[in-house]
């Protein structure tokens, strides 16, 4: 038997993957008897934000991930297509019809026993005596689960706020403007620097201060559930300083036009090779992975709407044509520092037999969370049968996400969605963007075929 905790996107996929392969599975879900500030129904896999499950295009990263999930028997995608509504290129669903249908399928599966109520770590030993346990409790995990995860992983490896800067595809940075240099030439030239002149800097700051922002939810700031707390902004800023150690870049800019030039964008120790002098200000870019195919904008955490981020950060010299694979966010989100805490099969290093799925692992998005649920289910199946699960090659979508979760590159680990920057660049390098992505897609399909053969031979597919 196996135990899955949480019936969100990851939990239902994990339970379904196990049940479809003949493993009796108990699935714990505390809603609707105990809810969260973000949920409104008792349906499994409730869509709490957008009703979009990303692109349907088979040539997109999300499309490739869906193809891989389909090959493993995804119940989420099958149900989504049954209740699809018009959404252009995106797979959009009727929220209630999707939730109701998915819940019914899971509840009626002969190998799944739904347990109502809040699971607590006090049950862990009893459940582990019967088989592996998968935690899929999501970004709003209960205090009991969060406290236990902090204890077994170390507080520094558990995050309660997702406070990260925008990330761009390295191939879209203008290297004739952005230059590689560490301050005072100390250390490797790992950083790229985007140099501002005075006029471009002041225009950027003005746009930043006046940009439209994402509203603060009451449960993020400590206010009441209807959002009527008088000091929600102040409470939120205090919380993120405590939990994430940062201040939104727009809040810094509001302190004065030169606050960023003397802070986050301080140009000391840098020389623009185009001018031979120090720039007025400089935004630095830091590698997000060992391949240096992704760069994050250093100290640019923000709560701006995504369209605003694209508009404003493209005002930065060298980023005029940058493609953003992840926008900056600061919001409530419990997740583990996966490279330090999880094995490649998503098993907790500190507690053998306990696997983690969904957003807790450090992926972002409905589809990515569901994908990690399937993978955790397969890993738990292999663990119970004493069959090691083959980890897919990084060239396919699953391998790309899992490689991100194991990447030891020194940086602030942050959740990531599926994007082309996570896939290895072809060798030899291909300059044309379309041809480069076509090559990545072909390699992904080859890597998927190989992985499916490995799963088949191990009896795990």
What confidence score (pLDDT) does residue 156 get? Answer: 85
Q: Tell me the per-residue pLDDT of 297-345, one tens digit each, with 9 for 90 and over.
A: 999 999 999 999 999 999 999 999 999 999 998 877 889 999 999 999 9
C-alpha torsion angle, residues 326, 327, 333, 334 (rounded to 10): 40
pLDDT band of 229, cuts 50, 70, 90: very low
| pLDDT higher than threshold 80 for residue 350 | yes
CA distances from 83 to 52, 75, 373 (A): 12, 13, 21
Q: Which of 47-61, 82-96, 137-151, 218-232 has the lowest mean pLDDT?
A: 218-232
242 shares its domain with 141 = no
Cβ(422)–Cβ(295) under 8 Å? no
Average pLDDT over residues 67-80: 98
| pLDDT higher than threshold 70 for residue 252 | yes
209 shares its domain with 144 = no
**This prediction's pTM:** 0.85
What confidence score (pLDDT) does residue 47 get? Answer: 86
CATH of the domain at 418: 3.50.50.60
Instruction: Classify strands 2-5 and 25-29 as parallel, antiparallel or unpaired.
Output: parallel
How far, in Å, CA of 8 to CA of 138, rounded?
7
CATH of the domain at 186: 2.40.30
How far, in Å, CA of 23 to CA of 36, rounded?
30
384 shares its domain with 315 = no
Residue with tokens 């959002």, as numbered in its chain: 227
Q: What is the 3-state secondary structure (H, E, C) of the chain?
A: CEEEECCCHHHHHHHHHHHHCCCCEEEEECCCCCCCCCCCCCCCCCCCCCCEEEECCCCCHHHHHHHHHHHCCCHHHHHHHHCEECCCCEEEECHHHHHHHHHHHHHHCCCEEEEECCCCHHHHHHHHCCCCEEECCCCCCCHHHHHHHHHHHCHHHEEEEEEECCEEEHHHCCCCCCEECCHHHCCCCCCEEEEECHHHHHHHHHHHHCCCECCCCHHHHCCCCCCCCCCHHHHHHHHHHHHCCCCCHHHHHCCCCCCCCCCCCCCCCCCECCCCECCCEEEEEEECCCCCCEEEECCCCCCECHHHHHHHHCCCCCCCCCCEEECCEEEEEEEECHHHHECCCCEECCCCCEEECHHHHCECCHHHHHHHHHHHHHHHHHHHCCCCCCCCCCCCHHHHHHHHHHCCCCCCCCCECCCHHHCCCCCCCCCCHHHHHHHHHHHHHHHHHHHHHHHHHHCCC
258 shares its domain with 380 = no
Contacts of 413 (CB under 8 A, 6+ apart): 337, 338, 339, 340, 362
Determine what percent of the chain is predicted with pLDDT higher than 70: 92
- 398: Cα separation from own chain's centroid: 13
170 shares its domain with 157 = no
- What total number of domains does the chain contain? 2
Q: Tell me the per-residue pLDDT of 189-206, one tens digit each, with 9 for 90 and over.
A: 789 999 999 999 999 999
Q: Which of 77-86, 117-126, 135-144, 155-164 has the lowest mean pLDDT?
A: 155-164
Phi, psi of 245 (to 5 degrees): 65, 35
Contacts of 143 (CB under 8 A, 6+ apart): none
> Of 327, 360, 392, at which residue does a domain stop?
327
| pLDDT higher than threshold 80 for residue 100 | yes
Domain that holds residue 231: 166-327
109 shares its domain with 239 = no
118 shares its domain with 182 = no
How far, in Å, CA of 338 to CA of 362, rounded?
6
pLDDT band of 176, cuts 50, 70, 90: very high
135 shares its domain with 200 = no
What is the rounded average pLDDT for all residues in the chain?
91
288 shares its domain with 427 = no
199 shares its domain with 311 = yes
Interior CA angle at 327 toward 428 and 361, to 5°?
80
357 vs 160, higher pLDDT: 357
Cβ(114)–Cβ(108) under 8 Å? no
> Of 327, 353, 374, at which residue does a domain stop?
327
What confidence score (pLDDT) does residue 8 get? Answer: 95
Average pLDDT over residues 358-374: 96
174 shares its domain with 316 = yes
> Of 308, 327, 346, at which residue does a domain stop?
327
Q: Tell me the per-residue pLDDT of 406-439, one tens digit each, with 9 for 90 and over.
A: 999 888 888 899 999 999 999 998 989 999 999 9
Residue with tokens 């077994």, as numbered in its chain: 152
How far, in Å, CA of 109 to CA of 12, rounded?
11
Phi, psi of 160 (to 5 degrees): -110, -15
19 shares its domain with 152 = yes
């Amino acid at each position: 038997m196996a135990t899955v905790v949480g019936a969100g996107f990851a939990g239902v996929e994990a339970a379904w993957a196990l049940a479809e392969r003949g493993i009796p599975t108990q699935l714990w879900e505390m809603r609707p008897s105990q809810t969260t500030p973000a949920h409104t129904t008792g349906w499994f896999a409730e869509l709490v934000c957008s009703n979009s499950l990303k692109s349907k295009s088979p040539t997109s990263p999300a499309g490739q991930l869906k193809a891989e999930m389909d090959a493993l028997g995804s119940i989420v995608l099958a149900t989504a297509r049954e209740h699809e509504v018009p959404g252009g290129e995106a797979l959009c669903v009727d929220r209630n019809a999707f939730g109701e249908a998915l819940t019914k399928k899971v509840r009626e599966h002969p190998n799944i026993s739904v347990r109502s109520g809040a699971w607590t770590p006090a049950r862990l030993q009893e459940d582990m005596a019967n088989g592996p346990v998968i935690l899929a409790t999501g970004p709003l995990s209960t205090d009991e689960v969060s406290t236990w995860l902090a204890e077994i992983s170390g507080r520094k490896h558990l995050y309660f706020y997702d406070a990260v800067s925008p990330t761009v595809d390295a191939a879209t940075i203008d290297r004739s403007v952005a230059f590689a240099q560490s301050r005072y030439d100390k250390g490797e030239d790992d950083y790229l620097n985007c140099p501002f002149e005075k006029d471009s800097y002041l225009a950027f700051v003005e746009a930043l201060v006046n940009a439209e922002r994402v509203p603060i939810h009451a449960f993020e700031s400590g206010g009441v559930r209807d959002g009527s707390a008088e000091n929600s902004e102040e409470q939120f800023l205090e919380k993120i300083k405590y939990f994430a150690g940062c201040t939104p870049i727009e809040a810094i800019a509001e302190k004065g036009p030169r606050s960023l030039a003397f802070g986050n964008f301080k140009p000391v120790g840098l020389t623009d090779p185009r001018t031979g002098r120090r720039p007025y200000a400089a935004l630095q870019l830091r590698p997000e992975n060992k391949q240096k195919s992704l760069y994050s904008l250093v100290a640019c955490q923000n709560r701006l709407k995504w369209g605003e981020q694209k508009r404003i950060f493209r005002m930065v010299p060298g980023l005029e044509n940058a493609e953003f694979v992840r926008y900056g966010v600061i919001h409530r989100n419990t997740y583990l520092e996966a490279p330090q805490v999880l094995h490649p099969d998503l098993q907790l290093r500190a507690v053998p037999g306990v696997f983690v799925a969904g957003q807790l692992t450090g992926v972002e998005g409905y589809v990515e969370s569901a994908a990690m649920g399937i993978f955790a289910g397969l890993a738990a199946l292999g663990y119970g049968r004493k069959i090691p699960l083959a980890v897919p090659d990084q060239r396919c979508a699953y391998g790309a996400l899992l490689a991100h979760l194991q990447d030891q590159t020194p940086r602030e680990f942050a959740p990531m969605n599926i994007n082309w920057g996570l896939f290895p660049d072809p060798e030899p390098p291909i300059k044309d963007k379309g041809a480069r992505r076509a090559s990545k897609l072909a390699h992904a399909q080859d890597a998927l075929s190989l992985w499916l053969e490995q799963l088949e031979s191990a009896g795990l597919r």
